[in-house]
């Protein structure tokens, strides 16, 4: 389209558009999309300047909306997944910064878990039927009691849990729980734990103690060997260091897990365990591949573990 025609159209229509509050650039956009023919130009020049501007702006807006709709439809799944990830990350961030949503109680005992993760533990424990859960990071004992109560329902199972400190009020007493005091990676504690595993027992491990990359790396090295094929090694708090929360934490469990997986093909992150959209253990529900899970009938026996 000749340049002088463009300029003429602009001079004629822009003041009207300005008065109506439209950006004159919209008008040029419309011209770019629909270059006017001579006939069209006559129509434009004979029209009232306000009306011409308005019509062209509406056409441009409709065309733009159409293009956007076509693009959105073409990439709908990609866009939905980006939207979903954004919404989940925002909700995750909101919940994480308000500790009340994950500093919760089980039967009156404090535990630090995201509630949907507890449901996922329940599903895993029922499906994989571990005889023993080894937990690092006891804190107030709420999580150990939760696992023990699930074992009560199943009728089988023990918990051995270790922490470097004991709370002044003590830990909840339960016949299926044994508490060990010491650092999770110390030779004494590792030997004590090894001694608690009975021949043929199915073992699950939950790592929830000190969340530095180095410590989790060491725990993964020391504890992964305890996990039975078909059972889980759960690494808690892989969400910190910007995955997607608490960026200021620095490298932590996620970085340790990513490294661990590079050299341990016997473990795979089970993404189906993240289907509640938000988990505090993204990439941290590690399943030890191997024998299919033996779904043995739980004996309704009493397990003779000690408790303090």
Contact residues toward ligand SAM (CB under 6 A) are 111-113, 136-137, 139, 142-143, 162-165, 183-184, 208-210
- In the chain, which ranges are E strands? 103-106, 109-112, 132-136, 158-163, 177-181, 203-207, 232-235, 267-269, 285-288
State the pairing for strand pair 285-288/132-136.
unpaired
CB contact at 8 A, 283 and 257 = yes
User: Is the link from the previous residue into 244 a cis peptide, with omega within 30 of 0?
Assistant: yes
State the pairing for strand pair 232-235/177-181.
unpaired
* Least separation in angstroms between CB 257 and ligand SAM: 16
Residue with smaller CB distance to ligand SAM, 192 or 293: 192
Residue with smaller CB distance to ligand SAM, 3 or 191: 191
* H helix or E strand, kind and range, residue 117: helix 115-128
Q: Which of 174, 183, 111, 189 is nearest to 306 (CA)?
A: 174
* Least separation in angstroms between CB 188 and ligand SAM: 12
* Least separation in angstroms between CB 239 and ligand SAM: 12
* Least separation in angstroms between CB 134 and ligand SAM: 12
CB contact at 8 A, 40 and 69 = no
CA dist., res. 293 & res. 295, Å (int)? 6
* Least separation in angstroms between CB 155 and ligand SAM: 24
Residue with smaller CB distance to ligand SAM, 142 or 172: 142
Residue with smaller CB distance to ligand SAM, 56 or 145: 145
* Least separation in angstroms between CB 166 and ligand SAM: 9
Residue with smaller CB distance to ligand SAM, 52 or 237: 237
Residue with smaller CB distance to ligand SAM, 169 or 291: 169
Residue with smaller CB distance to ligand SAM, 81 or 103: 103
Residue with smaller CB distance to ligand SAM, 5 or 112: 112
Environment class of residue 47 by beta-carbon count within 10 Å: exposed (0-12), middle (13-18) or buried (19+)?
middle
9, 39, 43, 60, 185 from 4: Cα distances, Å: 8, 16, 17, 21, 80
89, 180, 251, 260 from 221: Cα distances, Å: 30, 19, 17, 8
Q: How far apart are the two ends of the chain, measured CA to CA in Å?
A: 89
The two three-digit tokens of residue 213, written as one number? 């990359």
* Least separation in angstroms between CB 255 and ligand SAM: 17
User: Residue 29 — φ and ψ, nearest 5°?
Assistant: -60, -45
* Least separation in angstroms between CB 183 and ligand SAM: 4
CA dist., res. 292 & res. 264, Å (int)? 19
């Amino acid at each position: 389209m000749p340049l002088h025609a463009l300029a003429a159209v602009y001079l004629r229509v822009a003041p009207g558009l300005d008065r109506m509050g439209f950006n004159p650039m919209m008008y040029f956009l419309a011209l770019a999309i629909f270059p006017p023919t001579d006939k069209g130009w006559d129509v434009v020049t004979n029209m009232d300047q306000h009306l011409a501007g308005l019509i062209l702006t509406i056409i441009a807006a409709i065309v733009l909306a159409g293009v956007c709709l076509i693009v959105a439809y073409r990439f709908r799944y990609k866009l939905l997944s980006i939207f979903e990830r954004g919404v989940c990350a925002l909700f995750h961030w909101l919940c994480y910064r308000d500790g009340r949503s994950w500093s919760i109680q089980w039967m009156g005992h404090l535990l630090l878990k995201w509630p949907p993760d507890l449901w996922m533990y329940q599903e895993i424990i029922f499906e994989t039927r571990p005889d023993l859960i080894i937990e690092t990071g006891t804190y107030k004992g709420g999580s150990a009691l939760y696992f023990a109560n699930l074992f009560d329902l199943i009728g089988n199972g023990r918990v051995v849990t270790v922490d470097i400190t004991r709370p002044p009020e003590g830990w909840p007493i339960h016949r299926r729980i044994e508490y060990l005091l010491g650092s999770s990676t110390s030779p004494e504690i590792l030997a004590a734990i090894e001694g608690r595993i009975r021949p043929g027992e199915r073992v699950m491990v939950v790592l929830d103690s000190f969340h530095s990359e180095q410590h989790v790396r060491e725990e993964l090295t020391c504890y992964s060997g305890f996990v039975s094929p078909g059972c889980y090694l759960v690494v808690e708090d892989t969400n910190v260091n910007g995955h997607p929360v608490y960026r200021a934490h620095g490298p932590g469990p996620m970085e340790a897990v990513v490294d661990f997986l590079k050299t341990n093909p016997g473990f795979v992150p089970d993404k189906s365990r993240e289907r509640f959209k938000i988990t505090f253990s993204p990439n941290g529900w590690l399943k030890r591949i191997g024998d299919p899970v033996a779904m043995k009938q739980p004996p309704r026996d009493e397990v003779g573990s000690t408790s303090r």
